[in-house]
Amino acid sequence: MIKDDFSTNGMHDYTILEDEMGDAHASTSLETPIRKGAFEQSDEEKMEAIEGHFSAIMDILGLDLKDDSLKGTPRRVAKMFVKEIFKGLNPENEPPITLFDNKFQYKQMLVEKGIKLHTFCEHHFLPIYGVAHVAYIAQGKVIGLSKLNRIVEYYSKRPQVQERLTVQIANHLKKVLKTEDVAVYIEAKHMCVQARGVEHEGCSTITSEYCGKFLTEKTRAEFLAAVA
């Protein structure tokens, strides 16, 4: 429910709504929200800016940046953000895809099971970790197996909502394979649930996207049996 309250300066105050969205892990769009001009800066320029901002955050928290253990942290965090855990934001890092003719005329589903998944919740910037299972039924072309893992990794390396991540992986597979017969199933644990808020450690979140033949009960059941 939208809180249409007025703050003392006459502006609408949507802070409560924003908190509710974060705690509900709600998403507002299928595409990752990226601002116009996001890639005009070089990676080095971004790291330099993030380093300065993170130094300020640490200072506000009361940490002594002169300490040997802490003085390199802002730079390490900046490099980690740009070059590692959020590198999937940059379309230049989209993995090249290798396709092959389906010379064996294999017409059954191909399943890549247990793909390691690490991403970050876009609401609290805390880790989400688990596994993804993907499958497709070839329509003339097959994909190199490692590329399935790379596609999962690419969309994971950005702030995410698990539902969006699931659909983005499925849509990318449909685009490159030129088939609707795709399935994606993700089971993951959210540190924003485990380490803050409700602090429940034992639960996990499951999302799935079934397209084409995987919408039929028989094919979907075969896929779910394969990844169980």
pLDDT tens for 153-199 read 999 999 999 999 999 999 999 999 999 999 999 999 998 777 766 66
Torsion sign over Cα 62, 160, 41, 44: positive
The whole-angstrom separation of Cα 161 and Cα 26 is 7
217 shares a domain with 133:
yes
| Residue at a domain's end among 49, 72, 92 | 92
> How would you classify the pairing of strands 182-190 and 127-137?
antiparallel
pLDDT tens for 2-38 read 344 434 444 445 455 555 555 555 556 789 999 999 9
pTM: 0.86
10 shares a domain with 37:
yes
110 shares a domain with 84:
no
pLDDT of residue 192: 78
Mean pLDDT of the residues in the chain: 89
Separation in Å, CA 2 to CA 14, 16, 17, 30: 7, 8, 6, 21
136, pLDDT greater than 80: yes
194 shares a domain with 110:
yes
Confidence grade of residue 203 (pLDDT, cut at 50, 70, 90): confident
Active-site residue set: 121-124, 162, 190, 192
| Residue at a domain's end among 63, 92, 121 | 92
Comparison of pLDDT for 11 and 54, the residue scoring more: 54
Place of tokens 């590329």: 147
Per the structure, the complete domain to which residue 221 belongs is given by 95-227
- DSSP class per residue in 25-66: T--S-SS----TTTTSS-HHHHHHHHHHHHHHHHHHHT--TT
pLDDT of residue 26: 57
1, pLDDT greater than 80: no
Give the chain's radius of gyration (CA, Å).
21
